[in-house]
Amino acid sequence: MPLSTIASLGPLAEKTVIVRCDLNVPLKDGVITDDGRVRASLGTISALLEQRAKVVVISHLGRPKGEPDPQFSLAPAAARLGELLGQDVPLAHDTVGPSAKSLVAALEPGRVVVLENLRFNPGETSKVDAEREAFAAELAAMGDAVVSDGFGVVHRKQASVYDLAKQLPAAAGQLVEAEVEVLARLIDDVERPYAVVLGGSKVSDKLGVIENLLPRVDRLVIGGGMVFTFLAAKGYAVGSSLLERDQIETVKAQIAEAERRGVRLVLPVDITVADRFAADAAYEHVPADAIESSSFGASGIGLDIGPASADAFAAAIADAKTVFWNGPAGVFEFEQFAAGTRAIAEALTKIGGLSVVGGGDSAAAVRTLGFSDDQFGHISTGGGASLELLEGKRLPGLEVLGW
């Protein structure tokens, strides 16, 4: 079934619309280091303001323990949202308390207010249905309709994502609509050759995606910390590199399945090995099947794919018509271990088809490395949500919207 969209809510002039955004921005000393998620929320909010709706923005930030915690306040996000919208955007000091109710009651058409971090209330993430429903009811009492536009949380059965949409007329915002449309193309409407590039630290986080996509892809490119479990599965020693020993047999089976299906599995041919996990660590490039041959021996730790692998990865991407990438190839936060991730990003900017950056660390990486969003076909705002969608899972925040 198609998603319910904003048009299904009818005229919204002078109506109070609660918009569940994802303003979970990275902060350093209280300053936003990447405002991508705030910018991603602008389309839906602006569309509602054009209808002269009263917009109440709700979101979480970080992982507070169900009570107010100043380091997780949405104040920086509310301030940035106001700057981008060109209007003052007040922040309530609570979620459903006196401050929130007062600001919402005073809200004028065409204006926006932000409620404080939803996770300051234990009802938001409670595993008890009745507790989530009670919190959702308090939120619902302040609005006439709800728009779900936080794609990064649609895989969570939380009060603002799931229960609230059962208590008010509900629809997907422009961001969620666009995310679902693009990611569905990676499963059901693929232009070939189709390459999937996976990285990040743990292979266990990606097993479901690999299993679901193996019947669909032409090439599977593996980098990041997860690659060392693949190398170990091939019988290679990996030194002190990240390794999930309990997943080796599973990975062996997936390697065999890729071969059986004729999927081209691209693994690194060389690794950048360091003497320690640090930005200024000493490092060497060594063959992927001889990691312990570096001068660091068995204590060496792989922190990036090597230069020959970066070229091979780029070549595997170059003529693809569809590419999905999730997870950096190395520790991109350290400049000397960012080359592999940069090579992947650069290759994605040049393909002649659909390139999708799968959110999370991948999205952070492309921005950190100086790429702009418009150099890619689509940058997802939800790493975990995009992965679960590609695993074939049903996502509570989408099911409640009719999808």
Higher pLDDT, 381 or 133: 133
Residue 188: in which H helix or E strand, if any?
A: helix 174-188
CA distance to 11, 214, 297, 370, 398, per residue, from 186 (Å): 34, 12, 41, 26, 17
41-58 average pLDDT score = 98
* Arch. (CATH architecture) of 6-177: 3-Layer(aba) Sandwich (3.40)
CA 170/CA 225 separation, integer angstroms: 40
pLDDT of residue 285: 98
The string of pLDDT tens digits covering residues 298-324 is 999 999 999 999 999 999 999 999 999
What's the whole-number mean pLDDT along residues 59-79? Answer: 96
Angle between helices 307-318 and 339-348 (to 10 degrees): 10
Residues 6+ apart with CB under 8 A from 330: 199, 223, 224, 272, 303, 304, 305, 337, 338, 339, 340, 341
Q: Provide mean pLDDT across the span 356-360.
A: 85
What's the mean pLDDT when you consider all of the chain?
Answer: 95
Residue spans in the chain of domains classed CATH 3.40.50.1260 = 6-177, 185-390
Q: Which of 383, 330, 333, 377 is nearest to 356 (CA)?
A: 377
Quote the DSSP letter at residue 283.
E
Spatial strand order of the sheet with 194-198 comes to: 264-266, 219-222, 194-198, 322-326, 354-357, 378-379
Section 35-64 average pLDDT? 96
Active-site residue numbers? Answer: 37, 202, 360, 384
Check residue 360 and give its pLDDT: 76
Contact criterion met (CB below 8 Å) for 23 and 81: yes
Binding-site annotation: residue ranges: 22-24, 37, 60-63, 119, 156, 206, 302, 333, 359-362
**Mean pLDDT along residues 50-61:** 98
Query: Which residues fall in the annotated binding site for ATP?
Result: 206, 302, 333, 359-362
Q: Percentage of residues in the chain with pLDDT exceeding 90?
A: 89
Mean of pLDDT values over 30-50: 94
210-238: average pLDDT: 96
DSSP code of 74? S
Contact of 198 with 220, CB cutoff 8 Å = yes
**CATH of the structural domain 185-390, one choice from 3.40.630.40, 3.40.50.1260, 1.20.1070.10, 3.40.50.720:** 3.40.50.1260
The confidence band for 34, taking pLDDT boundaries of 50, 70 and 90, is confident
Look at the block and give the residue holding tokens 């109710």: 101
- Whether the pLDDT of residue 193 is over 90: the answer is yes
Rounded to an integer, what distance in angstroms lies between the CA atom of residue 104 and that of residue 16? 8
Q: What is the mean pLDDT of residues 278-293?
A: 97
Q: What is the pTM of this model?
A: 0.90
Best CA proximity match to 220, nearest among 320, 128, 298: 320
pLDDT for residue 58: 98
109: pLDDT strictly greater than 90: yes
What is the average per-residue pLDDT within 344-362?
92
Residue 19 CB-half CA count within 13 A: 32
Average pLDDT of the residues in 191-195: 96
Give the alpha-carbon dihedral of 322, 327, 330, 336, to 10 degrees: 80
**Residues in the annotated binding site for (2R)-3-phosphoglycerate:** 37, 119, 156
Q: Where residue 2 falls among pLDDT bands split at 50, 70, 90?
A: confident
* pLDDT > 70 in the chain, percent: 100
Backbone angles phi, psi at 154, to 5 degrees: -70, -10
- Whether pLDDT at 124 is above 80: yes
Task: Give the per-residue pLDDT at 1.
Answer: 58
